[in-house]
Amino acid sequence: MAAEMKLLSASPSVKNWPLSLLLSALLVLTAAAGLALQVFGTNAAALVAAAGVALTVIPAMRAANTEYSVTSARITARSGVLSKTEVSILLSEVLELRLRRSPLQRAMGLGDLEVAGETRSILLVGLEDPEQARDRIHSLAGK
């Protein structure tokens, strides 16, 4: 039996969370303005700034700790910051590929790809160029 070859590797794009990033930037700017103008107490401004930083860092950490890979035999999704999760589907078990794209995702060139297998599904979230990933998996699975 031939060894598995890695054919495709991807991760969720940080661009997948633009509203979260926008809100966090707004909170950081509000906190900075509050500190500068002394409108808020120092503690309130620091809490607002911390919330903004957290809303920026959490999606970035989630994206940085998620990896999707397609080998010659299987599709695998690994994710998790503290606890790690890994889900795989054999290419021979792939039944259907579903591409989902919101209007915002379409504008940013992103999309979510659900790979439905015989016993489970894997959702590949926030892929850049999801059509290419879908077409590649489709050709490898022989569907």
Tens of pLDDT, residue by residue over 24-81, are 777 777 766 666 555 555 566 666 677 777 777 777 787 788 999 999 899 999 998 8
- Give the E-state strand segments of 5-133 in sequence order: 6-10, 67-71, 74-79, 85-90, 94-100, 110-117, 121-128
Tokens of 97: 């590929």
Which burial class, exposed, middle or buried, applies to 118 when counting CB atoms under 10 A from its CB (0-12, 13-18, 19+)? Answer: exposed
pLDDT at 104: 83
How far apart (Å, rounded) are the C-alpha atoms in residues 7 and 91? 12
Considering the domain 6-13+68-141, what is its CATH architecture?
A: Roll (2.30)
For the entire predicted model, the pTM comes to 0.71
Residue of higher predicted confidence among 95 and 51: 95
pLDDT at 35: 62
Domain boundaries, the chain: 6-13+68-141, 16-61
Residues 11-27, mean pLDDT to the nearest whole number: 69
pLDDT at 80: 87
Calculate the alpha carbon distances from 127 to 17, 73, 108 in Å.
12, 21, 10
Report the C-alpha dihedral over residues 26, 27, 33, 34, rounded to 10 degrees: 150
* Summary mean pLDDT of the chain: 81
Tokens of 58: 């959490």
pLDDT at 33: 67
Residue of higher predicted confidence among 86 and 17: 86
Structure confidence at residue 16 as a pLDDT band (50, 70, 90): low
